[in-house]
A and B are shown apart, each in its own frame.
Chain A
Amino acid sequence: MPVRVMVRPREYHDSVRLMQLSERVRRESGVDEAILMMATENNKKILRASGVLTSEASAARADDLVVAVVAATEAQAEAAMTLATEQLAQRAASAGVRHAPRTLDSALAAAPESNLALISVPGLYAAREARRALEQGLHVLLFSDNVSLADELALKRLASSKGLLLMGPDCGTSILDGVALGFANSVARGPVGIVGASGTGIQEISVLLDRMGLGISHAIGTGGRDLKEAIGGITMLQGLQVLAADSATQLIVLTSKPPAASVARTVLEAAAWVGKPVLVNFLGADQLPAAQGSLHYAASLEETALTAGALLSASKQLPLLNPAAIAQLAGQLAGRLQRQQRYIRALYAGGTLCYEALLHLRSELDQVYANVADSEESRYDGQGRRPGHILLDMGDDAYTLNRAHPMIDPTLRMQRILQEAADPEVAVLVLDLVLGFGAHVDPASLLVETLRQARAEAQRGDRYLAVIATICGTDADSQGLSRQADILRQADVLVVNSNAEAARLAVAVIKSATATGG
């Protein structure tokens, strides 16, 4: 097994870029292993475990880059190293600058007309960078998490006093004037403005609206904690103000998990005064108030899109399955299962999609567990085997400590799929594919590869594995919604038209299977 290891001194690339490159080298050159990592102490342990910690790599500094491949032949190893070198060189070339600025201040000096800073540095340094950007008069999209609540409040107060947006922390999605920031889909421009505390919540609503012929004016991310009592909804209130004043926006959608009671009151009061219809999606709220005046409510992401469609007389319907069609499909799938196959395993990249599915499963089935469950007794952290219906948000902090988010690096989810396939009590897998900017170049093909293995595993136990997929994407996304759907369908994956539909269908399969006792 030829092993080639190269150390490139003082060459820094961020961990996500390195993971992307590793995956690409592995995929394109067919080598067993391709690892690109900075030579930090932690990473050296990983290199050692992979059998590629040569003495040169061991002596490397934390700001040196290690490139290692394990191949079947010398030629393959050589080809992989060449590809890696080419890819590493490309970054500097495409940037068009020989020496990229190394600080926010020097970037601003080079491009003084800049008006927004997109910050994704490690949490420890993030608040400083965000503060600097705000002080310089820039709006901020703060992708970084691990920023303290106190820092968030101070930053948002500063932003607010200067008429600037601090979108975050932990904000991965915004669309301003048609420009996607972070992870977002290519959706049409149109009359719906969204303010959201959740990235995949914004994404799902925006793609469903796009499917109905309704476009987005702006989608303003607030970060996951904006509606906690301590923060008071500062960014959501700013977002409301922006969309109220925006002439292109006819309907405002607010989406998040239920806010603190006092914050909900403040936000709803502000929303009632906006002078445009506001559709409120507090996902998982115990009771939905009746629509009143210009305020409307929706319980799920799907219902949000459908309600917006009704309010704006959308030109197209979402091609959702009616209950009879669901029952029929469910019956067909259930008929192929063995008696002991009785559980759903839903493995999600999108946190809010996972949560939406959890809400539905919990309302229809017993024994539902999740790593993102609200209650202690329903919480399952993914370790060890556990009977029951399980939903895992694979983008949760516990899974992303040393790996990129599953939208970028699907490895952990793929491993989990194989694990579930080996469980004789598993009947249905539910999976989400998130397309668009920042997402993997071809998640469907990767998934199909893993499913092939998963199905082979289930076959050994004479089991059929039902697989349901929801795709959060559009045909305008580079991955192409229809193309991705076709790849999945050809692999016997049932592709549905919304995340809520995936949950409905999965539940229907289980009910059908347990009803017939087969």
Chain B
Amino acid sequence: MTDTATVKLPEQLVVINVGLELFADTLREQQQAVTHVQWEPPAQGDAELLDMLDALL
């Protein structure tokens, strides 16, 4: 079963964009607040290393 809490949409959308710059562009075109994360594959893309890092966090 899924626990559900009521969804409340924010009054004012403030976005963090993680990934394609294209999407940050489209938000800026709309004068929308957006923080773009310059995301790059972590740990040289090593999945096992990633898991280890996660366990540490």
Contact = CB atoms under 8 A, between A and B. Distances in A.
A232 B19 CA distance: 28
Nearest to A113: B14
Given A163-B5, A182-B23, 4 more contacts: A16-B21, A115-B13, A115-B14, A144-B19
A4 interface: no
Interface string A10-47: 00111011001000000000000000000000000000
Contacts of A162: 5
A95 B33 CA distance: 11
13 contacts: A20-B22, A95-B36, A100-B38, A101-B36, A107-B37, A111-B16, A114-B16, A115-B10, A120-B20, A129-B39, A163-B5, A242-B9, A437-B29
Nearest to A161: B3
A179 B40 contact: no
A438 B26 contact: yes
A165 B20 CA distance: 20
A306 B35 CA distance: 39
B8 A438 contact: no
Interface of B: 2-10, 13-24, 26-30, 32-33, 35-42, 45, 47, 50, 54
Interface string A357-388: 00000000000000000000000000000000
B19 A14 contact: yes
B54 to A, nearest CB: 7
Given A17-B21, A179-B32, A234 B38 contact: no
Contact of A165 (B7, B19, B28, B38): B7
Contacts of A14: 19-22
B13 to A, nearest CB: 5
Contact of B37 (A100, A115, A218): A100
Contacts of B20: 14, 16-17, 120, 143
A122 B21 contact: no
Given A17-B20, A102-B39, A163 B8 contact: yes
Given A100-B38, A107-B37, A124-B47, A163 B15 contact: no
A241 interface: yes
A124 B49 CA distance: 13
A120 B9 CA distance: 21
Interface string A61-77: 00100000000000000
Given A107-B35, A115-B14, A116-B14, A438 B22 contact: yes
A118 B18 contact: yes
Interface of A: 12-14, 16-17, 20, 63, 91, 94-95, 100-104, 106-108, 110-111, 113-122, 124-125, 128-129, 133, 138-139, 143-144, 156-157, 160-165, 176-177, 179-182, 218, 232, 234, 238, 241-242, 245-246, 408, 437-438, 478
A176 B23 CA distance: 15
A139 B21 CA distance: 19
A160 B3 CA distance: 6
B29 A157 contact: no
Contacts, number: 154
Contacts of A17: 20-22
Contacts of B3: 157, 160-161
Given A117-B16, A182-B26, A438-B22, A177 B35 contact: no
- The winner among B2, B4, B22, B27 for most chain A CB atoms within 10 A is B22
Contacts of B33: 111
A238 B3 CA distance: 12
A162 B2 CA distance: 11
Given A129-B18, A238-B7, A179 B13 contact: yes
B13 A118 contact: no
CB-based closest 9 A-B pairs: A120-B19, A163-B5, A437-B26, A161-B3, A115-B10, A100-B38, A120-B20, A121-B19, A111-B35
Nearest to A63: B40
Nearest to A478: B29
Contact of A176 (B13, B22, B28, B39): B13
Contact of A241 (B6, B32, B45): B6
- The winner among A106, A181, A478 for most chain B CB atoms within 10 A is A181
Given A119-B18, A120-B20, A129-B18, A139 B5 contact: no
Given A12-B40, A102-B39, A234 B15 contact: no
Nearest to B53: A128
A117 B47 CA distance: 23
B41 A125 contact: yes
B16 A104 contact: yes
Contacts of A182: 23, 26
A13 B16 CA distance: 17
Given A102-B40, A116-B10, A179 B17 contact: no
Nearest to B3: A161
A16 B29 CA distance: 18
